[in-house]
């Protein structure tokens, strides 16, 4: 596990993955483009009110995996196999957890 207080180790897709949106590169992407055009707080509000889209779920997981240092090719394979075109509910929980961690930091 990393020293990143916003990182989460998540058992998903047949393994344990580190996801974080607090990575410097991810922060630059989010500051420039947002999460599908929304600030992190607006994106979190969309998850909390149930007004997220499948693209929101995919983008948060994608950025979280990249922030957790998962190689880009592996991220694409994981998204293709476990997110794109799959039921939303399991992935919504993961995306919400990763996004909320950006605000609350260490869960303990």
Q: Find the farthest-apart pair of alpha carbons in the chain and give their distance in angstroms, rounded.
A: 34
Where are the chain's structural domains? 8-104
pLDDT digits (tens, 9 = 90+) for 22-72: 999 999 999 999 999 999 999 999 999 999 999 999 999 999 999 999 999
What local confidence, expressed as pLDDT, does residue 64 receive?
97
What local confidence, expressed as pLDDT, does residue 2 receive?
63
What local confidence, expressed as pLDDT, does residue 105 receive?
87
In this prediction, residues 9-25 reach a mean pLDDT of 95
Residues 70 and 78: beta-carbon distance below 8 Å: yes
pLDDT band at 3 (very low <50, low <70, confident <90, very high): confident
Angle in degrees, 0-180, between the axes of helices 54-67 and 88-104, rounded to the nearest 10: 50
């Amino acid at each position: 596990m990393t020293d990143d207080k916003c990182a989460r180790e998540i058992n998903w897709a047949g393994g344990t993955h580190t996801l974080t949106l607090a990575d410097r590169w991810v922060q630059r992407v989010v500051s420039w483009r947002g999460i599908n055009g929304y600030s992190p707080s607006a994106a979190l509000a969309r998850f909390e009110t149930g007004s997220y889209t499948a693209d929101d779920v995919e983008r948060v997981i994608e950025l979280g995996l990249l922030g957790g240092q998962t190689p880009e090719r592996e991220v694409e394979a994981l998204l293709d196999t476990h997110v794109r075109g799959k039921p939303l509910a399991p992935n919504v929980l993961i995306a919400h957890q990763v996004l909320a961690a950006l605000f609350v930091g260490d869960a303990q």
